[in-house]
Amino acid sequence: MVGPMIRRRVFRPSGAAIAGALLWGVVAASTGLADDDRIEEDPLPGAAQRQEGNIIDLEANFDANLFEQTGGGLVIRGNGLRVRRPSPTGEAEAESESQTLARLRQLGLEKLDRVDRTCGLSDAQQAKLTLAVESDAREIAEEIEATRSRYAGTAANFAQPEGQKKWQAFQQDVQRCRARLQAAFEADSLFAAVLAETLDEQQRAGLDRESRARRSFRWRAMLAPVLLKMDETLGLTRAQHAALERALVAAEPPLRPEAPPGRRNTHAEQMLVYLQLSKADANVLRGEFSDRQWRALSMLMNQGKAMKSWLDQQGLVEFER
């Protein structure tokens, strides 16, 4: 039976909502719900109804911010407090697998597929690693689901200080869960332990070469648009461009071989390039540029250094251990 219609609303924040949102770095907004969600919006009584544009349903926004958050900003999806309605047939709806577990399993199996293409895994190796992927995915999904459950049926009102504090706590929890998502199947995972035990020496050597090549490719892809922007703003000569490129290629960071989950974060990539440029030998570079150009480059490098702690949270670089 087809479920009840969903009443959709576009998020149009009031002045107070905008001020509160900017306070916590809101940079993106989107609307929409899946067609099969049995969700309706309850009217908010009294003064709360007049402030509806300031009220954000935290449960409904958890997955959007977990999987789609980009540039350190937020994804706002819908407004008002929504409640789930029972099936009109009175029958209990079948529970579907959580989006978190499905996404984690997909990430793990994609990683396993890349290993297989590089190493030519045997059936026995495939079976062991598939079990490890499932175990890691379920463990991390349980942690994330426990955090999500704390926001069931809760909302934050940007017009009130308490609501702003609640939104900040929500963002901290989302960021912690994103870090777990980004680090899935890495050094401390069961997948990594089983991989190290399962591969033979020749397979490990091939996988190391493939990982280094993938990192270098990703780094050069990040450098190209940033260097082009420097060309345009600083008026670089061919020799100056080449000097910057050499310095940045030599300063390649320990990138993750795969991009972190979610949308590509071009702002974070740009800041990472500036940060790595600040680590280059200034004595070698300084003589290549005019005083004006060097002052501009120094400002960019300082920008990158100032964003170091923020960049650590974005998932571009492997965690230091």
CB atoms within 10 A of CB 297: 22
The secondary structure element, H or E, covering residue 76 is strand 75-77
Structure tokens at 125: 């190796």
What was the pLDDT predicted at 89? 52
Torsion sign over Cα 184, 185, 190, 192: negative
Query: Which residue intervals of the chain are DSSP H helices?
Result: 15-23, 46-50, 58-68, 99-119, 123-149, 161-182, 190-198, 201-234, 238-250, 266-277, 282-285, 291-306, 308-312
pTM of the model: 0.66
Phi, psi of 140 (to 5 degrees): -70, -40
Contact predicate 125/199, CB 8 Å: yes
48 to 78, 153, 157: CA distances (angstroms):
16, 16, 9
| Residues β-bridged to residue 41 | 82
Pick from 36, 33, 34: nearest CA to 11: 33
Structure tokens at 147: 């955090």
pLDDT < 70 stretches in the chain: 1-53, 69-97, 260-263, 319-321
Pick from 75, 29, 18, 73: nearest CA to 266: 73
CB atoms within 10 A of CB 88: 11
What was the pLDDT predicted at 98? 81
What was the pLDDT predicted at 297? 96
What was the pLDDT predicted at 181? 85
